[in-house]
Amino acid sequence: MDTLPHTTPYERITTRILALLEQGTVPWHRPWDSTLGMPRNLFSQRAYKGMNVWLLTAMGSTSPFWATFQQVTAAGGRVRKGEHGVPVVFWNIYAHEDPETGEAEKRFVLRQYTVFNATQVDGVAIPAITALAHRFTPIERCAHLVNTMPGRVPLVCG
């Protein structure tokens, strides 16, 4: 799927979502393990955002760390033979000056990259996965938010 010729990032992502749905995975349901945290870049530790969270967590990997082929090789590692990556997308914003008016314009360009999970690479240091402790229980937190809401209207069940 990642090697489809002449497809746009939109088509690749749509194809990926459809494949996940056909496998019985609904990517927008909470597939991630909350103790591992959000998927993040192996080297920068920056968390992925938006659609990328769904695409990466739906893979069911045991590591939250992902990197491009180029990042892995630049760090002296390698992606194992036969491994397949997952597409992720990013918006780049470019400033452009209109030649006729001289006004600055912003252009948004969608970029697609293929990333590999840390479990698919060799030769690079993989950070330890620190399980994140739950700092609150959701029911108590929700009750607190509702009970401290200014001008709260009574809630009636039934």
Give the pLDDT means over successive 10-residue stretches in the chain (158 positions).
Answer: 59 78 70 69 92 84 94 97 92 85 86 94 90 65 80 75
Centre a 10 Å sphere on the Cβ of residue 116 and count the other Cβ atoms it contains. Answer: 23
In tens, the pLDDT along 24-64 reads: 766 666 555 556 778 999 999 999 998 898 888 888 888 99
Percent share of the chain, pLDDT over 70: 84
Which residue reads 């103790």 in tokens? Answer: 35
Angle 15-110-70 from CA coordinates, rounded to 5°: 85
Global pTM reads: 0.64
Find the distance separating the first CA and the last CA of the chain, reported in whole Å: 49
DSSP per-residue letters across 110-135: EEEEEEEEGGGEESS-----PPPPP-
* pLDDT attached to residue 38: 85
Q: At CA 144, angle to CA 29 and CA 154, rounded to 5?
A: 95
* Residues contacting residue 101 through CB under 8 Å, at least 6 positions apart: none
32: nearest Cα among 136, 114, 121, 132: 132
